């Protein structure tokens, strides 16, 4: 395919650059080059892999401002957010360099069973071969790093299909990896659309492991299309935060606004539902409104901007419609509620929301939070669980029993206590339950998923 895809700045509407519209033929050629490079990567000593990853981290730090400016232009995220993202991507490569040195199996005590007398042995971890990586536009560099860094650390080759909205930073990352000494073919980037290049990667028989981050709508059908290969999915979320009677309301309010409106709410772990005990509703609401009012909307490249734009006009259409429908069903905008540009939506807080409304069940992916009251913790936990999602959740409370009950009963990949669900450390196992995904990322945990165990067993001839 010779056609090009234009990368559009969602804030200005102007073209930032063009990339090839790759399809099945380009994916096949990339997989072939990766396959040729597999022995070189597999046999590369760990210290060499570590050195390449560390050097990549350094290059990202040296080029941080250029990367940040580029991601802001591609995605509409604010410059402060993209600077933080580049620093995070650099840290992920650095951490993967350390984890590469710790890739090991262990000895097996075969003589624990009678048939194993006189046997000694161990298991080791081998790369799966080729990791197919499909990434979204909302955290394009750091999420690519979360797939590429552990894949290379464990000796794999990678074929990456970045989101069509944000492919330029992926190409620049690949360039940095090459400069850091990565062999040609160890990382191939195929730009293109999801249904074309993405699908070709999902279905390619030579890809050993597919790592996908994107929407639930697309992700849920991928295992059936992927055929006989391992699949990891990081899909959406609809994160609840429970605020109980004993909570530190000031700190909860500060964290909720931070977690609800970062990246204009377009994070899988954005705070969406604020489940508040009825007795503290008014005081929390007042504090939330005061803080949301202070958020500055505007040019994503302006240092002072807190909330940038949504990824596209279509995304903004979707949010506008969802908010209108919720208001028709009885919800009220305590603040915000309106579109203020082709791709810009006011930071919005809806009250009088019921858990059975579509807006409380579906993923918002917008600068939008919902306030829902509860009377008992059991009721709050039941509401927290009343969506198809189960990524991260949180609770603000000073009561240890409440905290532990929530940690125990919420079906989610992580439960944060006195922290918002939007908190993520790149070293923790990260992933979802229910329809939020399969498998875990977080460098060490991804490395486990991207490797096969092999047993070596030796019988002593005595």
Active-site position among 99, 268, 346, 363: 268
**Tokens linked to 329:** 């069903």
* Nearer to ligand ADP (CB atom), residue 53 or residue 145: 145
Residues in the chain: 462
* Nearer to ligand ADP (CB atom), residue 214 or residue 336: 214
Kindly state the smallest distance separating residue 21's Cβ from ligand ADP, in Å. Answer: 11
Number of residues engaging ligand ADP in binding (CB under 6 A):
15
Question: Of 41, 202, 284, 395, which lies in the binding site for ligand ADP, with binding defined by CB under 6 A?
Answer: 202
* Nearer to ligand ADP (CB atom), residue 28 or residue 299: 28
Question: Hey, which bits of 37-115 come out as E strands?
Answer: 106-107
Task: Verify whether residue 457 is a known catalytic residue.
Answer: no
* Nearer to ligand ADP (CB atom), residue 23 or residue 129: 23
Kindly state the smallest distance separating residue 165's Cβ from ligand ADP, in Å. Answer: 7
Active-site position among 81, 234, 346, 441: 234
Distance CA 1, CA 23 (A): 7
CA distances from 368 to 54, 258, 339 (A): 38, 12, 12
437 in contact with ligand ADP (CB under 6 A): no
- Binding span for ligand ADP by CB under 6 A among 170-178, 195-203, 246-254, 273-281: 195-203
Residue, CB closest to ligand ADP? 194
Question: Of 85, 199, 234, 373, which lies in the binding site for ligand ADP, with binding defined by CB under 6 A?
Answer: 199
Kindly state the smallest distance separating residue 235's Cβ from ligand ADP, in Å. Answer: 8
Binding mask 207-246 for ligand ADP (x = CB under 6 A): -------xx--x----------------------------
Kindly state the smallest distance separating residue 27's Cβ from ligand ADP, in Å. Answer: 11
* Nearer to ligand ADP (CB atom), residue 155 or residue 431: 431
Kindly state the smallest distance separating residue 137's Cβ from ligand ADP, in Å. Answer: 6
300 in contact with ligand ADP (CB under 6 A): no
Inter-residue contact 213 to 234 (CB < 8 Å): yes
Site for ligand ADP in 142-181 (CB under 6 A): 161, 163-164
Kindly state the smallest distance separating residue 199's Cβ from ligand ADP, in Å. Answer: 4
Kindly state the smallest distance separating residue 343's Cβ from ligand ADP, in Å. Answer: 14
- Binding span for ligand ADP by CB under 6 A among 110-118, 189-197, 244-252, 454-462: 189-197
* Nearer to ligand ADP (CB atom), residue 218 or residue 350: 218
Residue 245 CB contacts under 8 Å (≥ 6 apart), including other chains: 277, 279, 280
* Nearer to ligand ADP (CB atom), residue 44 or residue 359: 359
Strands 271-277 and 239-243: parallel
Kindly state the smallest distance separating residue 263's Cβ from ligand ADP, in Å. Answer: 12
Question: Of 23, 140, 194, 237, which lies in the binding site for ligand ADP, with binding defined by CB under 6 A?
Answer: 194
Task: Verify whether residue 234 is a known catalytic residue.
Answer: yes
Kindly state the smallest distance separating residue 216's Cβ from ligand ADP, in Å. Answer: 8
Inter-residue contact 49 to 155 (CB < 8 Å): yes
* Nearer to ligand ADP (CB atom), residue 136 or residue 337: 136
Question: Of 134, 207, 269, 406, which lies in the binding site for ligand ADP, with binding defined by CB under 6 A?
Answer: 134
Full 3-state SS string of the chain:
CCCEEEEECCCCCCEEEEEECCCHHHHHHHHHHHHHHHHHHHHCCHHHHHHHHHHHHHHHHHCHHHHHHHHHHHHCCCHHHHHHHHHHHHHHHHHHHHHHCCCCCEECCHHHCHHHCCEEEEEEEEECCEEEEECCCCCHHHHHHHHHHHHHHCCCEEEEECCCCCCHHHHHHHHHHHHCCCCCCCEEECCCCHHHHHHHHHHCCCCCEEEEECCHHHHCCHHHHHCCCEEEEECCCCEEEEECCCCCHHHHHHHHHHHHHHHHHCCCCCEEEEEEEHHHHHHHHHHHHHHHHHCCECCCCCCCCCECCCCCHHHHHHHHHHHHHHHHCCCEEEECCCECCCCCECCEEEECCCCCCHHHHCCCCCCEEEEEEECCHHHHHHHHCCCCCCCEEEEECCCHHHHHHHHHHCCCCEEEECCCCCCCCCCCCECCCHHHEECCECHHHHHHHCEEEEEEEEECCC
Inter-residue contact 275 to 244 (CB < 8 Å): no
Question: Of 22, 76, 155, 198, which lies in the binding site for ligand ADP, with binding defined by CB under 6 A?
Answer: 198
Binding interface with ligand ADP (CB under 6 A): 134-136, 161, 163-164, 193-195, 198-199, 202, 214-215, 218
Which residues are identified as catalytic?
234, 268
């Amino acid at each position: 395919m010779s056609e090009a895809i234009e990368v559009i700045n969602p804030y200005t509407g102007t073209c930032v650059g063009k990339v090839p519209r790759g399809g099945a033929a380009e994916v096949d050629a990339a997989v072939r080059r990766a396959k040729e490079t597999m022995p070189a990567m597999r046999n590369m000593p760990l210290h060499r892999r570590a050195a390449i990853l560390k050097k990549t981290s350094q290059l990202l730090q040296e080029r941080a401002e250029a990367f940040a400016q580029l991601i802001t232009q591609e995605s509409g995220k604010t410059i402060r957010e993209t600077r933080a993202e580049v620093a995070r991507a650099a840290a992920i490569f650095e951490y993967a360099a350390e984890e590469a040195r710790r890739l090991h199996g262990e000895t097996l005590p075969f003589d624990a069973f009678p048939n194993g007398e006189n046997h000694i042995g161990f298991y080791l971890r081998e790369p799966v071969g080729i990791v197919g990586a499909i990434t979204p536009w909302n955290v394009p560099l750091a999420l690519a790093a979360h797939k590429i860094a552990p894949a290379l650390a464990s000796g794999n080759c990678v074929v990456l299909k970045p989101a069509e909205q944000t492919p330029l930073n992926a190409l620049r990352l690949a360039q940095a990896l090459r400069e850091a000494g990565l062999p040609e073919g160890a990382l191939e980037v195929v730009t293109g659309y999801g249904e074309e290049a993405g699908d070709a990667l999902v279905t390619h028989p030579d890809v050993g492991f597919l790592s996908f981050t994107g929407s639930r709508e697309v992700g849920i059908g991928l295992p059936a299309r992927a055929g006989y290969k391992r699949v990891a999915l990081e899909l959406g979320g609809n994160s609840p935060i429970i605020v109980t009677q004993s909570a530190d309301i000031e700190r909860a309010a500060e964290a909720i606004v931070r977690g609800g409106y970062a990246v204009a709410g377009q994070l899988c772990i954005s705070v969406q539902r604020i489940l508040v005990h009825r007795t503290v509703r008014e005081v929390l609401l007042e504090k939330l409104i005061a803080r949301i009012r202070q958020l500055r909307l505007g040019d994503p490249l302006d240092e002072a901007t807190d909330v940038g734009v949504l990824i596209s006009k279509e995304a903004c259409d979707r949010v506008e419609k969802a908010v209108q429908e919720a208001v028709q069903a009885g919800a009220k905008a305590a603040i915000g509620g309106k579109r203020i540009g082709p791709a810009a939506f006011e930071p919005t807080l809806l009250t009088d929301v019921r858990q059975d409304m579509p807006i409380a069940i579906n993923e918002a992916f917008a600068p939008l939070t919902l306030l829902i009251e509860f009377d008992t913790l059991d009721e709050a936990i039941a509401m927290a669980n009343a969506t198809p999602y189960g990524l991260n959740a949180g609770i603000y409370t000073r009561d240890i029993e409440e905290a532990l009950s929530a940690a125990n009963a919420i079906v989610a990949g992580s439960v944060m206590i006195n922290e918002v669900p939007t908190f993520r450390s790149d070293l923790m196992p990260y992933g979802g339950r229910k329809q939020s995904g399969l498998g875990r990322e977080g460098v060490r945990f991804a490395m486990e998923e991207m490797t096969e165990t092999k047993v070596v067993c030796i019988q002593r001839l005595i």
